[in-house]
Structure 1
Amino acid sequence: MSIRLHHTQSKNSICYYIKEDFTDPITHKRSTRTHSSLGNLSSLMQKYSVSSREEVEAILKQEIEALKVQSEDLISLQLSPDSLIPKDSHQDFNAGWLYPFKVLSMLGLKEISNTISERSRFQFSLEDIIRSLVCARIIDPVSKRSSIDVMKHMYGCPVPQIHDVYHSLGILAKYRYEIESAIYQQSRKICQRLNSVLYYDCTNFYFETEDEDDFRKYGKSKENRPNPIVQYGLFMDSSGIPIADICFPGNKNESFSMSALEQILEKDFQCSRFIVCADAALNGFDNKLYNDRKDNGAYIVTQPVKKLKKAEQEWVTDPSGWKTLGSHALYDIGNLGPTVMINGSEVRTDSVVFYKDKWTETKKKSRQTGKQEVLREHLIASFSTKYQKYQYKIREAKIKRAEKLLKAPGKISRTNNQRDPRYYIKQTACGNDGRPAGTGYVLDEEKICEDRKLDGFYAVVTDLEDEEISTVIEVNRQRWEIEECFRIMKSELKTRPVYVRREDAIQGHLLICFLALVVYRIIEQYLDHEYTVEEVMKTLQNQRIALIKEPVYHPAFSRTELTDRLADIFGYQLAYEALTEKKLNKYVRNAKSKNMAQFVKEQKRR
């Protein structure tokens, strides 16, 4: 917003006004309005005791300059209790979207979009559409059509046409890995990326329809829903930030996807030296063989103790022969107290991870080579009293839920899902006194007892050597983060249900959600992981500003330590008593630029 001197002239008089130039926050178009009326020439000559028009205009210009300086420090408003606000006008806007908006700029979105636009024939701004969709997914995740209304309430946000949005999804699908590769390379300049160990896992997303097609297929839903699904695989680095993803039909086996995406990483992302960490269902024999024989490759695969061979399971649960990192002593985990002695120092037992290891050989026919292959693997078992207590707590809660189900046996059905309380219920055809009775259900005490014996134990297989056991143990402590990525996508970003139908539109939608997750994880890293996902997301969503009277806005959110941290990092302080359009538009212009945020500049200097 700027002010200037303006005049109108008629036959008998010249009248002077102060005019304001401003940008409409909804249409983003420049416009003009009258700030105040100063009077006609004759009255002003009398007021200032001068005799010429030139002298009057010189005085008025000096007063306007003084008013500009004064307006920067103090804002004066005239509000009437009898005046109504304009009909159908937007009176409040979200400004928290500027933080993810800035991260996208720092990630080089403009250059990426321009490169794609030069090779394609479309008239809309791909950059604006990606920005708007990603930020709207963080601020208020709804369908693409409803996102248009969300964008209208985001201060300074470009609002694309809905048909351009749908058209862009196919373009995003076509250039998926070009976009993800460029984002990954640029992200290494603005945040910490640790890519020596990559984590891989799969989930799936459902559609609210019963009709399947070539891409949306019936498969094993993670949420046990009777709907068609698409499968989704994700690679994440040790910093907790996603690198690349893959989407494939819902009826396909997950295991092939990991090596397929690995090959894309090696080809397009310049990632060739990394350890892959995944669970046994994904990292099967052929995937392990692929990573074992690849130059500078390795793998770490979680191995459920319950599914080990009997001899190996007995070796894992044997209480003797356990070690700790940095010590040569052997421990008996069957006789642990509240503390243990490690190298002469007394340490709390629940802070220690005990381990034992041995080498094994697996012989199996490979689907890739068609030959019998031998894979030499390092089996590493770990035990933690903290993990033991956690598993016990989870099981007891499950048993209590199972006991409640027993009171209403009509709702009980068999399941092999270990997360379901029905897993600990078995069917019986005898009464408690041993005499024949009608079919009923009881707690499966034998299964509960067997599972309790395995509490606290964890196992992995890897091709890493003995001296790298510490790496293996540390890596497995971070596996939960990829599950956290999926939880954020499903809960905070509401990736599912998916409302688009065509395969390219589905791929484009999932890419938008992937980029939103990357942006959030970078902001989370800037905040030193000191806040929960819910705290950060709610703060971004609630940072709203209310229009008092053009051109003045007021913060309509609670100022907290977190809002101040975001302001310090990005330089957008939204908690001033009054915010002018001039200041807000300056924030928007800065958010569009690729220059580093204040926080990143300081980190680079250090």
Structure 2
Amino acid sequence: MAKRLKVSKSKYSESFTIIEDYYNHDTKKSTTFIVERLGNLKSLMEKYNTDSRDVVMQNLKAYVNELRKKDKEDKSVINISIGANDLIDLNSKNVFNIGYLYIRNILCSLGIADICRQISEKYRFKYDLTDILVDLVCTRVIYPSSKKSSYESAKKFLKEPTYSLADVYRSLKPLCNERYLIEKKLYENSSKMFKKNTSVLYYDCTNFYFEIEEEDDFRKYGKSKENRPNPIVQYGLFMDADGLPLADYVFQGNKNEQFSLRELEAKIEDEFKVAKFVVCADAGLNGWENKVYNDMKKNGAFIVTQPIKKLKKPLKEWAVSHDGWKLQGYPDTYNLDDLADKETIEIEGKKRKISDLVFYKQRWEKTTKKTASSKTKYILEEQIIVTYSRKFAVYQKHIRDKKLERARKLLKNPGKLTKTNQRDPRYYITETAITKDGEVAKEKVYEINESKIAEEEKYDGFYAVTTDLEDDDLSLIINANKQRWEIEESFEIMKSELRTRPMYVQQEDSISGHLLTCFIALLVYRLLEKKFLNEKYTCTEIFSTLRDLNISHLNGTYYVPAFNRTPLVDDLVEIFGFQPSRKIIQQKNLKKFQRVVNSKNSTKLK
């Protein structure tokens, strides 16, 4: 509401104030506050040099109209009267996060309200599923925590929850049941906003452990990614060629990961209508059965990472030999020894940095083996493509040097030494039990295993895949493997920034519903990072900026920013059309943006 004049009469006096309406977050009702005290009738007659009340009223109305005009121009100087000793109200809500509005805006642009309305009509909910799901996703980004804490944290948003905590728990089961309806609709609606790249679909699995001692029907003992001796649930994720989550799959902790790829792949083919299905995964997930499964399909193909060390000896020697290397698009072959002392090479008259190039070699191999599905032998022709990158070699050496540095420190404390896997620095330490005479004894000697280091150095810079794609798809194959790290990064984001675990829910449908909200939060983050902000900022910068976008209630309808203005904040302004960096933010601007946020077509994304 606009500013207006209020007249207060008493037995002996008449006083005038300018008031304005505002929404009180504590009472959840609209009320008024005093913008300016103008004085009593006697003092105003003296001010306007008149003895007529009508003249005073004419002047006061003109003054109010001038304030209204300045408000419309939005260029007025705001005068706020605050005493130096004034205190904020005890237990009042004074600080609010507005970073969640950008998350809500993207969700509404993806048609989340229509999706939830369709589910609500099916189940005949009494609660607002849209508000619950949106708040669960927003709090997962801004205040990641348990469902109970998320419910309380949502009260720090400008719009408080209108549902109960019990409603939050009730919503998890239908969310679990309608997982693929939700994911399908999000995929379809996001495809209308921008062109999707499904030339290659990436698949990988991780798992989440629970701090319980005994397994149940769903949380089972399995191989934990964190090497923890706790029951786990498995989680599979499909990602498109742009690094955007497509669909996920939750299954029991003791089940083999390989079957999950076929289960989710069939679901995506049926629901998402992907024309060509090229699956890129690691060898552990895309084993023989999955290779055959995709090779047999008319629209299927596979790209599988191939550990060079596990190749047969002739293939291994061919893979790491220094001759016979090519560059995509050029006819010449290269020997890596000839390039060892060079920083650049000339290709068709242009100098190119060797560190920027990816060399490759390829050959076809046949494998005949029985398949479990048909119980007959199947002949699989697959292409082995090996790439070499000097930049990758430098990276691998850097990682190994760091582990060796840690390994040498461990030598000073033998009590902590236990040989583990290749990722652990203890992998490079060898143990020998000897006596002074060189005989076996209880005394142990630890030292760096130089032969193991030398063996690993042979593979620096080399990377191999197998595929049933033809030579024409060489560019697709090489580029596909460059991007596999993004799905691993997505898991890292889920576990760190989104704090998917620890999970405080216990039932299978509740766990699955919780993981769906985490999937949607990951999708929204990736859209913001890649499609809205064009990968200009790091994961940490984006999350910390959204979490720090707080405003403080000053008085009445006025707020002040409690965050630092940065280029990222300015980019959000450009995309979403709301300026939070004003020194004074008026409630009417916040309400306007809140209305815009709930629209399907509110961002400047093209």
TM-score interval (norm. to shorter): over 0.9
**Alpha carbons 1:132, 1:159 under 8 Å: kept:** no
Q: Give the equivalent residue in structure 2 for 1:585.
A: 591
Is the counterpart of residue 418 in structure 1 residue 427 in structure 2?
Answer: no
Q: Counterparts of 1:193 and 1:355 in 2: how far apart (Å)?
A: 28
1:547 offset after TM fit, Å?
Answer: 1.6
| Range with bigger deviation, 403-412 or 124-133 | 403-412
- More displaced 10-residue stretch of structure 1: 260-269 or 13-22: 13-22
For residue 541 of structure 2, what is the aligned residue in structure 1?
535
Residue pair 2:25, 2:93 contacting (<8 A) in 1 also: no
Distance 1:27 1:129 in 2: 22
Question: Normalising by the residue count of structure 2, what TM-score does the alignment of the two structures yield?
Answer: 0.93
Q: Give, in angstroms, the shift of residue 44 of structure 1.
A: 7.4
Please say if residues 407 and 429 of structure 2, whose CA atoms lie closer than 8 Å, have aligned partners that are also in contact: yes
Q: Could you tell me the percent identity over the aligned residues?
A: 48
Would you say 1:304 and 2:310 are equivalent positions? no
| Structure 2: stretches of 5+ with no match in the other structure | none
1:373 aligns with 2:378: yes
Question: Are 1:103 and 2:116 counterparts?
Answer: no
Q: How high is the TM-score relative to the length of structure 1?
A: 0.93
User: Secondary structure, in 3 states, of the residue corresponding to 1:223?
Assistant: coil
Amino acid at match of 1:321: G
1:393-435 alpha-carbon deviations (Å, 9 max, x no partner): 11121122222222222222232x2111122233322369744
Q: Using the TM superposition, give the Cα deviation of residue 65 of structure 1 relative to its aligned residue in structure 2, in angstroms.
A: 2.4
Structure-2 separation of matches of 1:34 and 1:349: 71
Answering whether residue 214 of structure 2 is matched by residue 211 of structure 1, we say: yes
Distance 2:52 2:568 in 1: 59
The answer for the alignment partner of 2:238 in structure 1 is 235
SS at match of 2:541: helix
Deviations 1:268-300 (A, max 9, x none): 112242311100100111111111121222111
1:396 match: 401
Q: 3-state DSSP class of the match of 1:447?
A: helix
Q: How many Å separate the matches in 1 of 2:217 and 2:404?
A: 41
Provide the secondary structure at the position in 1 that maps to 2:211.
coil
Q: Does 1:427 align with 2:403?
A: no
The equivalent position to 2:564 in structure 1, one of 547, 554, 558, is 558
Tell me by how many angstroms 1:567 deviates. 0.8
CA distance in 2, matches of 1:79, 1:43: 23
* Residue 438 of structure 1 pairs with residue 422 of structure 2: no
SS in 1 for 2:510: helix
The question of whether the paired residues in 1 share the 8 Å contact of 2:35 and 2:80 is answered with: no
Q: Using the alignment, how far apart are the partners of 1:150 and 1:377 within structure 2?
A: 53
Report the CA distance between 1:340 and its aligned residue: 2.6
How does 1:41-52 map onto structure 2 within 5 Å? none
Q: SS where residue 520 of structure 1 aligns?
A: helix
Cα deviation digits, residues 367-399 of structure 1 (max 9, x gap): 122211111101111111111111111112112
RMSD across aligned positions (CA): 2.3
The reply on whether 1:284 has 2:287 as its aligned counterpart is: yes
How many residues align? The count is 598
State the SS of the aligned residue for 1:323: strand
Matched residue, 2:497: 492
The CA distance in 2 between the partners of 1:425 and 1:450, in whole Å, is: 14
C-alpha contact (below 8 Å) 1:206/1:229 kept by paired residues: yes
Cα distance per residue 1:71-102 (max 9 Å; x no partner): 44221111112222110112221111111111
Match of 1:29 in 2: 29
- What letter matches 1:144 in structure 2? K
Q: 1:50 to 1:185 in 2, by over 3 A?
A: farther
Q: Which residue of 1 aligns with 2:185?
A: 182
Q: Contact 1:152/1:159 (CA < 8 Å) preserved in 2?
A: no
Out of 313-322 and 342-351, give the one that drifted further: 342-351
Q: 2:20 corresponds to which residue?
A: 20
Matched, 1:224 2:230: no
Which residue identity does 1:21 align to in structure 2? Answer: D
Deviations 1:85-142 (A, max 9, x none): 1101122211111111110110101111111111113211111111111111111211
Tell whether 2:152 aligns with 1:149. Answer: yes
- Which one-letter code corresponds to 1:67 in the other structure? L
Out of 464, 469, 474, the position equivalent to 2:469 is 464
Q: Which of 166, 170, 173 is matched with 1:167 structurally? A: 170
